[in-house]
Amino acid sequence: MELDFKHITTIGFDADDTLWVNETYFRKAEEEFASLLDGYETKNTIDQELFKMEMRNLNLYGYGIKGFVLSMIESALELSNNRVPANSIAEILNIGKNMISHKLELLDGVEEVLHQLQGKYRLLVLTKGDLLDQERKLERSGLLEYFHHVEVLSDKKETNYKRLLEHLEIDVSEFLMVGNSLKSDVLPILNIGARAVHIPFHTTWAHEEVPDDAHDNKHLTISNLRELLKYVN
């Protein structure tokens, strides 16, 4: 779709699954969790119940690995009727620690694109999740030098974006958001009058999925971050 980006002065980037791999590790953790509890329920039931628990706990714990681990522990107790042994709880905690400490894997072309855009645009990171974990990943990524501002949001809804752009004195007509989630990175941005670019990741958390008729394609979809340079460089 042809969109006019000539008035853009500021570009915001999502972090997880836009700058680096993230959701893949959650899928791996879910597999490990299901194997750990396979004596109590089928994998399909375990996956479904864990997701339901995450949704119930989202307002309490927010997004990120720590809330995910707490939901796994609570699901293990519920699925086992409180019979899950202590060593299984310890294994769940280790799953979470391994997720936090895994080597950061930048997506293809990220540093090249940021290097070419630096100085031409004001570059931001707008992500959600656990503050400490996101700060740690940004530090390990080696990308901090490219960004004017980093914001870890509790959620990515219209009000969150509007409040932040007003605080940073950025006009919505001059702002472009780039991310992998239609629900979090594209639709709220379009709803406040800004522009958005969608870069789908190969796996998407069920909570971030939206039906095809939930949007009217007033955004640009590209297959990888390098393609962005065709439109804004």
- pLDDT of 87-113, one tens digit each? 999 999 999 999 999 999 999 999 999
| Percent of the chain at pLDDT exceeding 90 | 81
Residues of the chain within CATH 1.10.150.240 domain(s) are 23-101
Contact predicate 190/196, CB 8 Å = yes
Give the model's pLDDT for residue 6. 87
In this model, does residue 230 exceed pLDDT 70? yes
Q: What is the dihedral of CA 203, 204, 206, 207, to 10 degrees?
A: 160
Residues of the chain within CATH 3.40.50.1000 domain(s) are 10-20+104-232
**Which has the closest alpha carbon to 143: 159, 155, 125, 127?**
125
Contacts (Cβ under 8 Å, ≥6 apart) of 150: 124, 125, 127, 135, 138, 144
- pLDDT of 134-166, one tens digit each? 999 999 999 999 999 999 998 899 999 999 999
Give the model's pLDDT for residue 218. 79
Q: Label the pairing between strands 122-128 and 195-198.
A: unpaired
**Which has the closest alpha carbon to 14: 174, 201, 210?**
201
Under the banding of pLDDT at 50, 70 and 90, the label for residue 5 is: confident
Classify 225 as helix, strand or coil. helix
- pLDDT of 29-77, one tens digit each? 999 999 999 999 999 999 999 999 999 999 999 889 999 999 999 999 9
Give the model's pLDDT for residue 85. 96
Under the banding of pLDDT at 50, 70 and 90, the label for residue 1 is: very low
Under the banding of pLDDT at 50, 70 and 90, the label for residue 210 is: low
**What kind of fold does domain 23-101 have according to CATH?**
DNA polymerase; domain 1 (1.10.150)
In this model, does residue 20 exceed pLDDT 80? yes
Report the predicted TM-score, pTM, of the whole model to 2 decimal places. 0.89
d(CA 157, CA 205): 17
- pLDDT of 35-47, one tens digit each? 999 999 999 999 9
Contacts (Cβ under 8 Å, ≥6 apart) of 13: 19, 123, 124, 125, 126, 177, 178, 179
Q: What average pLDDT does the structure give for the chain?
A: 91
**What kind of fold does domain 10-20+104-232 have according to CATH?**
Rossmann fold (3.40.50)
Give the model's pLDDT for residue 204. 66
d(CA 7, CA 10): 9
Instruction: Please count the CA atoms within 13 angstroms of the CA of 136 that sit on its side-chain side.
Output: 13
